[in-house]
Protein backbone atom coordinates (compact mmCIF):
# COMPACT_ATOMS: atom_id res chain seq x y z
CA UNK A 1 0.00 0.00 0.00
CA UNK A 2 1.29 3.42 -0.98
CA UNK A 3 1.72 5.48 2.14
CA UNK A 4 3.63 7.94 4.25
CA UNK A 5 4.39 6.72 7.75
CA UNK A 6 5.42 8.74 10.76
CA UNK A 7 6.69 7.65 14.14
CA UNK A 8 5.88 8.17 16.87
CA UNK A 9 2.23 9.18 16.56
CA UNK A 10 2.17 10.71 20.02
CA UNK A 11 5.04 12.04 22.08
CA UNK A 12 5.25 13.88 25.39
CA UNK A 13 8.69 15.17 26.28
CA UNK A 14 10.40 17.81 28.38
CA UNK A 15 12.15 21.00 27.40
CA UNK A 16 15.64 20.45 26.04
CA UNK A 17 15.49 16.71 25.46
CA UNK A 18 16.50 15.98 21.88
CA UNK A 19 14.00 14.04 19.80
CA UNK A 20 13.54 12.77 16.27
CA UNK A 21 10.30 12.18 14.41
CA UNK A 22 10.76 9.77 11.55
CA UNK A 23 9.02 9.95 8.17
CA UNK A 24 9.15 7.37 5.45
CA UNK A 25 7.39 7.02 2.08
CA UNK A 26 7.24 4.02 -0.25
CA UNK A 27 6.18 5.81 -3.43
CA UNK A 28 9.63 6.81 -4.72
CA UNK A 29 8.69 10.47 -4.41
CA UNK A 30 11.34 13.10 -4.95
CA UNK A 31 9.70 15.80 -2.86
CA UNK A 32 9.19 15.58 0.90
CA UNK A 33 8.12 18.19 3.39
CA UNK A 34 7.34 18.79 7.05
CA UNK A 35 4.44 20.93 8.25
CA UNK A 36 3.15 21.91 11.64
CA UNK A 37 -0.53 22.48 12.28
CA UNK A 38 -1.71 24.91 14.93
CA UNK A 39 -5.30 26.02 15.61
CA UNK A 40 -6.32 29.00 13.52
CA UNK A 41 -3.08 28.98 11.54
CA UNK A 42 -3.62 26.10 9.15
CA UNK A 43 -0.49 24.20 8.17
CA UNK A 44 2.86 25.92 7.91
CA UNK A 45 5.89 24.46 6.23
CA UNK A 46 8.96 23.81 8.36
CA UNK A 47 11.45 22.29 5.90
CA UNK A 48 11.28 20.64 2.53
CA UNK A 49 13.48 18.50 0.32
CA UNK A 50 13.46 18.40 -3.46
CA UNK A 51 15.59 15.24 -3.55
CA UNK A 52 18.34 13.34 -1.73
CA UNK A 53 20.81 15.68 -0.04
CA UNK A 54 18.75 18.74 -1.09
CA UNK A 55 16.88 20.47 1.72
CA UNK A 56 15.67 24.01 2.31
CA UNK A 57 13.89 26.07 4.91
CA UNK A 58 10.18 26.65 4.87
CA UNK A 59 8.29 29.35 6.73
CA UNK A 60 8.97 28.28 10.31
CA UNK A 61 12.35 26.46 10.42
CA UNK A 62 13.67 27.83 13.73
CA UNK A 63 14.40 25.09 16.23
CA UNK A 64 14.23 22.26 13.71
CA UNK A 65 16.68 20.28 11.60
CA UNK A 66 16.18 17.77 8.82
CA UNK A 67 18.27 15.46 6.69
CA UNK A 68 17.64 13.54 3.46
CA UNK A 69 20.24 10.83 3.13
CA UNK A 70 17.88 8.38 1.44
CA UNK A 71 15.04 9.08 -0.92
CA UNK A 72 12.42 7.39 1.24
CA UNK A 73 13.27 8.95 4.61
CA UNK A 74 13.03 12.52 5.87
CA UNK A 75 13.44 12.73 9.67
CA UNK A 76 12.61 15.87 11.65
CA UNK A 77 14.98 16.63 14.50
CA UNK A 78 14.31 18.89 17.47
CA UNK A 79 17.66 19.29 19.17
CA UNK A 80 16.38 21.30 22.15
CA UNK A 81 12.58 21.27 22.15
CA UNK A 82 10.70 24.12 23.76
CA UNK A 83 7.02 24.43 24.74
CA UNK A 84 6.26 26.59 21.68
CA UNK A 85 7.01 23.55 19.55
CA UNK A 86 4.02 21.75 20.99
CA UNK A 87 2.01 21.07 17.87
CA UNK A 88 0.68 18.53 15.40
CA UNK A 89 3.30 17.63 12.80
CA UNK A 90 2.72 16.22 9.32
CA UNK A 91 5.13 14.78 6.84
CA UNK A 92 4.16 14.84 3.17
CA UNK A 93 5.60 13.59 -0.10
CA UNK A 94 4.92 13.98 -3.80
CA UNK A 95 6.39 13.56 -7.22
CA UNK A 96 8.37 16.57 -8.42
CA UNK A 97 6.19 19.33 -9.86
CA UNK A 98 3.93 21.83 -8.17
CA UNK A 99 0.82 20.39 -9.84
CA UNK A 100 1.21 17.05 -8.10
CA UNK A 101 -0.80 15.97 -5.10
CA UNK A 102 1.03 15.77 -1.80
CA UNK A 103 0.42 12.65 0.25
CA UNK A 104 0.31 13.19 3.99
CA UNK A 105 1.29 10.99 6.88
CA UNK A 106 -1.08 10.44 9.82
CA UNK A 107 0.53 13.09 11.98
CA UNK A 108 2.60 13.23 15.16
CA UNK A 109 1.16 15.02 18.15
CA UNK A 110 4.03 16.46 20.17
CA UNK A 111 3.75 17.98 23.62
CA UNK A 112 6.77 19.69 25.14
CA UNK A 113 6.47 20.35 28.87
Partner 1 sequence: AQSVTQLGSHVSVSEGALVLLRCNYSSSVPPYLFWYVQYPNQGLQLLLKYTTGATLVKGINGFEAEFKKSETSFHLTKPSAHMSDAAEYFCAVSLNTGKLIFGQGTTLQVKP
Contact residues for partner 1, defined by CB under 8 A:
4, 31, 33, 35, 40-45, 48, 50, 56, 58, 90, 92, 94, 96-102, 104-107
What length does the chain have? Answer: 113
* Nearer to partner 1 (CB atom), residue 64 or residue 90: 90
Q: How far is the CB of 56 from partner 1 (least distance, A)?
A: 8
* Nearer to partner 1 (CB atom), residue 80 or residue 100: 100
* Nearer to partner 1 (CB atom), residue 43 or residue 52: 43
Residue 112: what are its φ and ψ, rounded to 5°? -110, 120
**SS3 assignment, position 56:** strand
Please state, as a whole number, how many other Cβ atoms lie within 10 Å of the Cβ of residue 86: 16
Amino acid sequence: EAQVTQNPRYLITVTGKKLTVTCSQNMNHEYMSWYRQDPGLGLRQIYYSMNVEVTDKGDVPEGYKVSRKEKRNFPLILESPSPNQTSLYFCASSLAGEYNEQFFGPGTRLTVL
